[in-house]
Amino acid sequence: MTAAEATGRGGARSGAAGDTTRDVVILGSGCAGLTAAIYAARASLKPLLVDGHEAGGQLGLTTDVENYPGFPEGILGPQLIDRMRQQAARFGTDYLGGAATAADLSRRPFRLTVGGHGDVLTRTLIIASGASARLLGLESEKRLLGHGLSTCATCDGFFFRGKEIAVIGGGDSAMEEGTFLTKFAARVTIVHRRDTLRASKIMQERARQNPYIAFVWDSVVEEILGKERVEGIRLRNLRTGRVSETRLDGVFVAIGHIPNTRIFEGQIDLDKAGYIITRDGTRTSVPGVFAAGDCQDHVYRQAVTAAGSGCMAAMDAERFLEAQGH
Ligand code: NAP
């Protein structure tokens, strides 16, 4: 392996990762991965953390975080990540920029290929590669994410008190987010590309009976409007071809998530949506491989639950190493 340099906003430059086998390698630099690093580093396991495609994970894409315990005034997502990064560096975590592009989990030590750095060998692996919210693929999404455009109602709903918002999608997530958002918003419009919802009956009914929710059917978002903040959306009706613009303060995209687990397909047990199946804490189907955070959780998906499972994964890895006599 070539020299591994510390990267990112965490600051501490950790130097070469060396070409010896690691005790713990962590994939992913979101809340789960960084918490695993703090615990593994404090257990003197000198973890190597591979940043991944989206350094900082979902929190890196969020603005204010007001529900992470310990920050009564709230904290910016990237700031929270920065602090965790510094905390993990303080106890001896090495950072490696780039993402793992291949993995061989068929024997120990496990072998990972990290783009631009060659191969890394490790006795245990903590996968904290997260899940990426599926987006619509519009250029405006990159500009407006965190500025009126969100993929997480629990995280950002509070900022839309008395506002007009739209939720895009027709599945359980869209119904759940839409219903939740009526606690804050003046009105929620659910925009779906068909005239039949994919959501379960009970979730549909709850949304349909909510007087603050309106539905727009057979429509796709052509553009999210606004330079610095969301100001509206342009919709196209797929049946009539009619294009219309609506003024809005916020847009929540709820069209599903994609777990970042592709390189493990066929090597560890995944559910049909691609999430890693964990048992007995954070254990996967491969002894010595643990999973934490959103890559194994499509239910809670919160920063604090990801951090909790990162802690569990580090403790599980430590116990595994002990049992192996390391
Ligand atoms: P989902 O079930 O895959 O639904 C995604 C929705 O987004 C579908 O209605 C789909 O439209 C729409 N969509 C996908 N790509 C789109 C695009 N490019 N443009 C516009 N619309 C698009 O995803 P989910 O709602 O996140 O749910 C994922 C899983 O978690 C499901 O198994 C769900 O039951 C579960 N879940 C459960 C709960 C709960 O029970 N409390 C809450 C949330 C999620 P089409 O219908 O036309 O394909």
Whether ligand 1 lies within 6 angstroms of the CB of 190 is answered as: no
pLDDT of residue 301: 87
- Give one DSSP letter per residue of 179-216, joined into a string: HHHTTT-SEEEEE-SSSS--S-HHHHHHHHT-TTEEEE
Of 193, 206, 222, the one to substitute when testing ligand 1's pocket (max ligand atoms within 8 A of C-beta) is 193
> How much is the pTM?
0.77
Closest protein CA for atom 37 of ligand 1? 172
CA 134 – CA 80 distance, rounded (Å): 23
pLDDT of residue 275: 98
Q: Which tens digit of pLDDT belongs to each residue from 229-271?
A: 999 999 999 999 999 999 999 999 999 989 999 999 999 999 9
pLDDT of residue 133: 87
Is-catalytic flag, 295?
Answer: no
pLDDT of residue 8: 35
- Among 14-28, 35-49, 254-268, the least confident range: 14-28
Tell me which of 31, 155, 295, 311 is the catalytic residue: 155
pLDDT exceeds 50 at position 220: yes
State yes or no: cis peptide before 69, omega within 30 of 0.
no
pLDDT of residue 326: 84
Closest protein CA for atom 9 of ligand 1? 170
pLDDT of residue 54: 84
pLDDT exceeds 80 at position 118: yes
CA 217 – CA 219 distance, rounded (Å): 5
Q: DSSP secondary-structure letter at 276? A: B
Closest ligand 1 atom to residue 176 Cα is 42
Q: Which tens digit of pLDDT belongs to each residue from 124-144?
A: 999 999 998 899 999 999 999
Tell me which of 82, 156, 294, 297 is the catalytic residue: 156
**Residue 284 in contact with residue 290, Cβ under 8 Å?**
yes
Average pLDDT over residues 141-149: 94
Q: Which tens digit of pLDDT belongs to each residue from 282-299?
A: 999 999 999 999 999 988
pLDDT of residue 9: 34
Whether ligand 1 lies within 6 angstroms of the CB of 171 is answered as: yes
Whether ligand 1 lies within 6 angstroms of the CB of 136 is answered as: yes
Closest ligand 1 atom to residue 257 Cα is 26
How far, in Å, from the CA of 175 to the mean position of ligand 1? Answer: 9
For residue 79, give the amino acid letter. Answer: Q
Is-catalytic flag, 31?
Answer: no
Exposure string of 244-277, with b = 16+ CB inside 10 Å and e = fewer, is: eeeebbbbbbbbbbebbbebbeebbebeeebbbe
In the chain, DSSP assigns E strands to 22-27, 48-50, 64-65, 75-76, 94-96, 100-104, 110-114, 118-127, 131-133, 149-150, 164-168, 187-191, 213-216, 219-225, 232-237, 243-247, 250-253, 257-259, 289-291
CA 14 – CA 19 distance, rounded (Å): 15
pLDDT exceeds 60 at position 188: yes
Is-catalytic flag, 155?
Answer: yes
pLDDT exceeds 80 at position 62: no
Closest ligand 1 atom to residue 298 Cα is 30
CA atoms within 13 Å, Cβ hemisphere of 168:
27
Average pLDDT over residues 289-312: 96
